[in-house]
Structure 1
Amino acid sequence: MSKPIRHFSCLLALTGSVFNTAHAVSFTDPVDGMFDMGEYLAENAYGFLPIPVIITEPAVGYGLGVIGMFLHETEEQKEKRRKLAMESIDGGAQLIPPAVTVAGGAATENGTWFALLGHRRVWKQDSIRYMGGVGFGTAIMEFYPFSNSGGPLQDVGVELETEGFGGMQKLQFRIADTKLFLGVQQFYADSEVRLKNNTGIGSDSFTLAETRSSGLGFNLEYDAKNSFFYPTAGWDFVAEYLWYREGIGSDNDYETFLASSTAYVPIATNWTLAFAVEYNSLTTDETTLPPLAYPDISLRGIPVNRYQGNYTSSYQTQVMWQFTPRWSMSLFGGVGGNSGVGRSNEGASAMFDDMKWAYGTGFRYLIARRYGVHMGMDFGFSEEDSAFYFNVGTGL
């Protein structure tokens, strides 16, 4: 058994031992009598929601791990949420979400592994929002620098190993009494990129570069969704712009821009139609950047980093059916496109030259009713690969 797998097997064992300390906490909901972890999360000092990480991502192979989600509230907030949850099936879910901490990691069969720690918190009745996190690990995967060339090299991949650590922070402020937030953010990563040698002769890898990426920027968000953990109505819009410059510690000069939006439209009782759009761009005058700097097509069923480019976009739709108060299922599908990588002469319009599609189905269980936390699995398929994912939330 590899060292990363042993490490996360111990982490899974620890998860079980924490559950064994919660003898006095009920896992049966007092309203509907169903299995529920809401009381455990609220009343147990060490209570957390273990999120299984069973990886079937084609880019890195099969793997496993666990991420724990901790919710933090004051005693007053807990009592208010408990009372509302006793009055209606979705009572506590409509309140301002509690502070959330996530911690854990995973490892896969090809040697890829990661560990992370993240936190989200709000102040002054959700007038100030903060989110930050750190992580470290090793990613071994194929990169396809000519995926949008249309020539004989478009399916030729290069196996790279990227090892390092990084972190991000985001601070946002609500504008008056609106649903609009403005903020600043920071990103930092220190990594070493190695070319894997699969010939069996000599060293198993060759170092290509050691790079630091350091960026500062701003963000804008409009948030009109009816829930943080599992929205069924409303919409949001997010825009982020970051500058990476030598003057703030970066080895490369470039800029990234992200614009995304999701919308949830109730179309009948217990039915929701959802849409999601995402656009990414990277601009630079430099010849090469760290492989993970370039955005990719982000769709369930398409391998991570399979289709990268200076410009990428994806378009998804999803139908969600809440067929019982606890259980829901969904059908989803989408398309995405990418332009060339590096100092390509292709503009953003090249994203639409060869669109890639993906589709799938999923299910969710309302595992913590007083918080509105839904957890389940998605099964995604594309023209080249398939995978399944454990998800908290809608998956969009």
Structure 2
Amino acid sequence: MLLLCMAAMLSPPVALSEDATPEKAGTQSPWLLLPIFSSNPKLGTSLGALGAYIHYFDEESQASMFGVTAQYTSTGSTVGGAFAKTSFGADRHRLIAFVGGGRIKNDYEDFLGTGIPLKTEDNLSAVATRYLYRVKNDWFVGLQGLYTNYLIVGQTALDDQILNALGLTGFRSGGGGAVLMHDSRDNDNSPTKGWVMNLNNIAYREWLGGSQDFDVYRLDLKGYREHGKGNVFAVRQNNQWTAGAPPSAYPPVSLRGYKSGQYLGKYMSSFEVEERFRIAQRWTATVYAGVACLYGSGKKCTESANLYPALGAGIQYVLKPEEGMVANLEYAKGEGDNSGIYLKLGYGF
């Protein structure tokens, strides 16, 4: 029902020849408006919207997007922000920026696998930016910066005692780092071929406005292959490692179907596969499977207690044919009572 209502709000399909560029087509509105919906045990049921303006700086660059988003949940949580994702100079330059924040109320039945129920209120504000420069062919180098002010408080005195015992009180952090990236995808939003490697770090330092010195390293690998009549097989291997980080800054399980922040570990690695079926000109369907591992500090991936599997399926509607932007309605199931229903912009990866 949500997808049908959304489709009714959109402009009619635009037929393009294979050599049509966005400028030549000229028949598609540059505005994007999408309702956002999710339902999961962490945030309850949330409803919001994303609005954006799409612009091309030149014919060789990818679509740039400037937008705002906001969500309100049944638990009284509110989150929102403004963002820009740009490509310019014949796609030699890519710049991403975000500013946002919110108040998130959580009700955990089993916090961090301790078996302890916990209610928290997280206050978050964040500013982030990343710049990439194409040095040769599909290789980019760049810099990134991030500042966050993250505070966790319990909703009862007992909750505060539990958070203090676990060392989870939030943190203020400011950091910067380097990026090395390879990107040979044929489309940034709906790739059918190519691969991506994103290797980056953030060095959080007190002199950059943080409350503690620590480091975060990430390696994200993605691959895409088209087969059959417009179907795409996608695979992802994602990693995040920390050094000297407070427990609040440990990476979470980064799989659909899990409550972000309920399970944390010093290191996180995950593996996902997704099959994307072309079922009509502007409709696709997906099936998905993945597994994540939290390890380090005595935890090992050979122990089943540290593994987090996930399965899911979804249906997508192509909002912007030229840019490959899709509205994605998904259901994902994790271990135990972890699950989620999501209506969002874009594929899972």
TM-score, normalised by the number of residues in structure 1: 0.75
| Match of residue 29 from structure 1 | 13
Counterparts in 2 of 1:130 and 1:351: CA distance versus 1, 3 Å: farther
CA deviations on 1:140-183 (whole Å, 9 max, x unpaired) are 22576653xxxxx3x3243221213111010111113x101111
Shift of 1:348: 6.5
Q: CA RMSD in A?
A: 3.0
Judged with a 3 Å threshold, the aligned counterparts in structure 2 of structure 1 residues 29 and 168 are, in CA distance, closer, same or farther, namely: same
Separation in structure 2 between the aligned mates of residue 166 and residue 115 of structure 1, nearest angstrom: 11
Q: Which residue of 1 aligns with 2:341?
A: 388
1:327-366 equivalences under 5 Å are 327-339=283-295, 345-346=297-298, 354-366=306-318
In structure 1, the partner of 2:268 is 312
Q: How many equivalent residue pairs?
A: 328
Deviation, structure 1 residue 43: 6.8
Whole-Å Cα distance in 2 between the matches of residues 333 and 218 of structure 1? 31
For the Cα contact (< 8 Å) 2:61–2:88, is it kept in 1? no
User: Following TM superposition, by how much is the alpha carbon of 1:252 offset from its aligned partner in structure 2, in angstroms?
Assistant: 1.0
Match of 1:268 among 218, 221, 228: 228
- Return 364-373 or 118-127, whichever deviates more: 364-373
Which of the two has higher C-alpha Rg?
A: 1
For residues 109 and 260 of structure 1, the distance between their equivalents in structure 2, rounded to whole angstroms, comes to 33
Q: 1:137 is matched with which residue?
A: 102
Q: Which amino acid aligns with 2:55?
A: H
Contact 2:257 2:334 in 1 (8 A): yes
Quote the offset at 1:264 in angstroms: 0.7
Q: For 2:50, which of 67, 71, 74 is the aligned residue?
A: 67
Partner of 2:154 in structure 1? 195
> Which of residues 284, 299, 320 in structure 2 aligns to 1:368?
320
The 1-side partners of 2:157 and 2:47 are apart by: 25
**Residue 123 of structure 1 aligns to which amino acid in structure 2?**
F
SS of 2:207's partner is: helix
SS in 2 for 1:125: coil
Whether the aligned pair in 1 keeps the contact of 2:237 and 2:272 (CA below 8 Å) is yes
Residues 353 and 194 (structure 1), Cα distance of their counterparts in 2 relative to 1, 3 Å cut = closer
Deviates further, 271-280 or 209-218:
209-218
Q: Relative to total residues, which structure has the larger strand share, 1 or 2? A: 2
Q: Give 1:122's aligned residue.
A: 87
1:373 maps to a residue whose letter is M
Provide the residue aligned with 2:277 in structure 1.
321
User: CA shift at 1:135, angstroms?
Assistant: 0.3
Quickly say closer, same or farther: Cα 1:271–1:388, change in 2 above 3 A. Answer: same
5+ unaligned residues in a row in structure 2: which ranges?
A: 1-5, 17-21
Map of 1:294 onto structure 2: 250
**Alpha-carbon separation, structure 2, partners of 1:56 and 1:120:** 27
Equivalent in the alignment of 2:3:
none
Using the TM superposition, name which of 376-385 and 132-141 deviates more.
376-385
SS of alignment partner, residue 141 of structure 1: strand
Q: Which of 283, 287, 291 does residue 243 from structure 2 map onto?
A: 283
Corresponding residue number in structure 2 for 1:23: none
Q: Distance in 2 between matches of 1:191 and 1:354?
A: 26
- Post-superposition offset of 1:44: 8.6
- CA gap of 1:262–1:353, structure 2 versus 1, over 3 A, is same
**In structure 2, the residue corresponding to 1:371 is in which secondary structure?**
coil
1:196-230 Cα shifts (integer Å, max 9, x gaps): 11889xxxx99x85742101111111001110111
Q: How does 1:178-189 map to 2 (within 5 A)?
A: 178-189=137-148
**Counterparts in 2 of 1:113 and 1:394: CA distance versus 1, 3 Å:** same
1:89-168 aligned at under 5 Å gives the runs 96-142=61-107, 146-147=112-113, 153=114, 155-168=115-128
Does the alignment pair 1:250 with 2:213? no
Whole-angstrom CA distance in 2 between matches of 1:270 and 1:58: 35
| SS, match of residue 175 in structure 1 | strand
- Alpha-carbon distance in structure 2 between the residues aligned to 1:294 and 1:223: 27
Which residue identity is paired with 1:261? L
AA aligned to 2:150 is S
Q: Would the alpha carbon gap of residues 210 and 198 (structure 1) be closer, same or farther in structure 2, given more than 3 Å must change?
A: closer
CA distance in 2, matches of 1:210, 1:146: 15
Please list every run of 5 or more consecutive structure 1 residues that lacks an aligned counterpart in the other structure.
1-15, 20-25, 33-37, 81-94, 148-152
Q: TM-score scaled to structure 2, two decimals?
A: 0.85
SS at match of 1:323: strand
The letter for the 2-side match of 1:27 is S
Match in the other structure for 2:40:
57
Retained in 2: the 8 A contact 1:69–1:102?
Answer: yes
Identity of aligned residues (%): 20
Change (3 A) 1:198 1:361: farther
Provide the rounded CA distance (Å) in 2 between the counterparts of 1:163 and 1:257: 24
Are the counterparts in 1 of residues 36 and 344 from structure 2 also a CA contact under 8 Å? no
- Which amino acid is the alignment partner of residue 54 of structure 1? F
Cα deviation, residue 350, structure 1? 6.8
Contact 1:51 1:390 in 2 (8 A): no
Partner of 1:4: none
Q: Provide the C-alpha distance between the structure 2 equivalents of 1:234 and 1:183, rounded to a whole number of angstroms.
A: 21
